[in-house]
Amino acid sequence: MIDSDALIRPPALTPGDRLAAVSLSWGGPGAFPERYEAGKLQLQEEFGVEVVAMPHALDPPAEVAAHPELRVDDLHRALGDPSVAGIVSTIGGDDSIRLLPLLDLDLIRSHPKVFLGFSDATVTQMAFLRAGVVSFYGPSLMTGFAENGGMHRYARDGVRGMLFSPGSPTPWPENDDGWTVEYLDWSDPANQSRTRTLVPSDGWRWLGGEAAEGPLVVGCLEVLDWLRGTEWFPDLEGAILALETSEEGPPPAIVTRFLRSLAASGHLPRLAGVLFGRPGGAQVPVEEHFAYDEALVGVIRDEAGLTSVPVVTGMDFGHTDPVWTLPQGVHVRVDPSDRRVRFLEAGVRA
């Protein structure tokens, strides 16, 4: 089991801090520099920080793809730079798994800093977890921070509450403002000021089970699937596993197969709870979201017979916007009786 008490909490961020932008997967900033600049500006204005790009963060996508060693060097440089307080992923992708053999876990452990991102950043966050350092699943520079027309209140509150506030633990609130996966072409600068259309929030769906506590492990389902069988796959003993799917919109059958593989490998019966984000991808109609619920229940309840494991779906993290920021490895409590998820400890320290 992940020993949450032993995990190193990075120092909380404060206004005036310098944050390093890193491109650890796709070279998005080189493809859409205006979108990167929008995210940089909005992050700086909202939180009073300074964003500095690491040497290769803005390289053309082909260069970023060809040189995983330079991506790792950017991360190591940001960790070792005493003027850098935190690190923010610019965007996801699909090949940061290539960085794993090159990462210095001792450097991560000896220089704990906030690391924030999602999607393919799951890979780097599993490395932080293996190094014993809390990292954070939340907005990236070119998505949540670069939100068209300004950051959503919910995403802004999540970043401030989880990264800038080392105080008392808090509940994970539901998003009442609506959500979106609408895509507005990043190559058209006029779209940056156009607010995306929100779908009304219909609340989280509680699919039974009993109250449970455990360390939170968060990730994109497809990326975690790539890590199965490696030393980088997380310890799921007693964990609350929070899964979400990418903009590629994998169908419910993929969720079923992933959970069956967890069952076959002995991981599924060891879970304390399962949380599931709204399916990412504009091609997944809202009325089809319930099919993912059926996939989860079909394996967890019907096939594995895990009746006490709480399952909650339609949650606010991953590839829909806005998202809450989630700390890896920190203890949470999932309580179906009052339909609340609570963080039992902070992810950052004073």
Tens digit of pLDDT for each residue in 205-254? 999 999 999 999 999 999 999 999 999 999 999 999 999 999 999 999 99
**Same domain (yes/no): 164, 28:** yes
Domain tally for the chain? 2
Give phi and psi for 275, each to the nearest 5.
-115, 145
Which element (helix H / strand E) includes 128?
A: helix 121-131
Give the position of tokens 């995983």: 68
Q: Is residue 183 part of a domain?
A: no
**Same domain (yes/no): 266, 160:** no
CA–CA distances in Å: residue 336 to residues 11, 82, 212, 213, 340: 32, 44, 9, 12, 7
> Over the stretch 138-166, which tens digit does the pLDDT of each residue have?
999 999 999 999 999 999 999 999 999 99
The two structure tokens encoding residue 290: 């319930």
Region for 161 from its dihedrals, namely left if φ exceeds 0, alpha if ψ lies in -120 to 50, beta otherwise = alpha
Strand intervals (E) in the chain: 18-22, 50-53, 86-89, 114-117, 136-137, 171-172, 205-206, 212-220, 240-244, 273-277, 311-315, 326-327, 331-335, 340-343
DSSP line for 133-145: B--EE---TTTTT
Q: Length of the chain in residues, anyone?
A: 350
Residues in CB range of 104: below 8 A, 6 or more apart: 76
Structural domain span for residue 307: 189-343
What is the structure's pLDDT at 169? Answer: 74
Q: Is residue 180 part of a domain?
A: no
Banded pLDDT at 282 (limits 50, 70, 90) = confident
**Same domain (yes/no): 8, 134:** yes
Residue type, 149: G
Strand intervals (E) in 186-283: 205-206, 212-220, 240-244, 273-277
> pLDDT at residue 308 above 80?
yes
**Same domain (yes/no): 224, 300:** yes
What is the structure's pLDDT at 15? Answer: 98
